[in-house]
Amino acid sequence: SGTTRPVRILQYVQRCANHGDALGVISAIDSFCSTVEWAMNVGDKKGEILDSVVLETRPRWVLELGTYCGYSTVRIARLLPPGARLVTIEMNPHYAQVAKEMIQHAGLEAQSSSASSPCSQAEQTSSNATIPPSSHQLRWRLQEALLYTTLHCLQLPLQLFSRTPQNPFTSSPLLTPTERQQGSQTCKVELLVGSSSVLIPQLKKKLDIEKFDLVFIDHWKVSYLPDTKLLEECGLLTTGSVLLADNVVCPGAPDYLQYVRNSPQYQSQYFQSYLEYLQVEDGLEKSVFLG
């Protein structure tokens, strides 16, 4: 059809959710991805666990690794108190552009951005209709979920296939400094486009961050452990910082689990749930950094 899945998800949201309705955006994505096309959002079931961890942690600074279309970004940002900030990192520029518009549609972003849209139109309707899937679509959805799972289980170094931006901070931040100033009242989310391993060491200087109270880890599974160690090395964690890692069972991140469960520096707990939009076990691992 000439569009990408993230764009189709965005277009559906723009049709079905009112501007500024973060919960409407979340429900529209869940509805689309459970009935039309599967996608790798944390999803509704694990999303509830994510919500409760955000609410109990009451973070001032949040880091998200892996934005994709911005589903979990919106989920987290809507629960943040005034003054809290969410930094989300995505290395794929196309996904990042979609996420930027998703975040704007949810009203969690300053309205002054002038960047071009990957979607030509955003017709507003008030309906929250769900589209029933055809058997072909269902089969395709399952095949894709399997492929995703297999790729990750084989631990293919998928990063190798992704474009690495030259200068991640000038490539495409969600807001220009002027936009950031103009939208400072409502702007909670900062989307950085680039690889986490390049961006994490730059965060303190570039964003004036001390420590993260909560880190949602949901990028490629082979990067969970090296990026956790990088966060430690860069002094971005403090006593009580919470790491919440998605997909620790499916596709799985065994080296990461082994580390947080056995290191005396973490107190770790597993939350059993289901893989997004499927009846397959998956879960989140919550690990509190003890310093």
Q: Is 187 left (phi over 0), alpha (psi -120 to 50) or beta?
A: beta
What is the C-alpha separation between 57 and 215, in angstroms, rounded?
11
Q: Which residues are marked as active site?
A: 218, 221, 246-247, 276
Residue number, 90 or 190, with CB nearest to ligand SAM: 90
Residue number, 43 or 173, with CB nearest to Mg ion: 43
Q: Which does 219 bind (CB under 5 to 8 A by kind): Mg ion, ligand SAM, none?
A: ligand SAM
Q: Is 31 in the site for ligand SAM (CB under 6 A)?
A: no
Helix (H, G, I), strand (E, B) or coil at 273: strand
Find the length of the chain: 291
Q: Which stretch binds ligand SAM (CB under 6 A): 37-45, 170-178, 237-245, 262-270?
A: 37-45
Q: Is 72 in the site for ligand SAM (CB under 6 A)?
A: yes
Give the total of residues touching Mg ion (CB under 5 A): 3
Sole binder of ligand SAM in the list 14, 31, 149, 195 (CB under 6 A): 195
Q: How far is CA 169 from CA 91, 141, 151, 174, in A?
A: 11, 35, 29, 10
Q: Which stretch binds Mg ion (CB under 5 A): 2-10, 105-113, 170-178, 245-253?
A: 245-253
Residues from 80 through 99 that contact ligand SAM (CB under 6 A): 89-92, 95
Place of tokens 């391993």: 197
What are the residue ranges of helices labelled H in the chain? 5-16, 22-35, 43-57, 71-77, 93-105, 135-153, 168-171, 177-182, 196-199, 203-207, 224-233, 254-262
Q: Is 218 in the site for Mg ion (CB under 5 A)?
A: yes
What is the C-alpha separation between 196 and 39, in angstroms, rounded?
21
Binding site for ligand SAM (CB under 6 A): 40-42, 66, 68, 71-72, 89-92, 95, 159, 195-197, 218-220, 223
Binding site for Mg ion (CB under 5 A): 218, 246-247
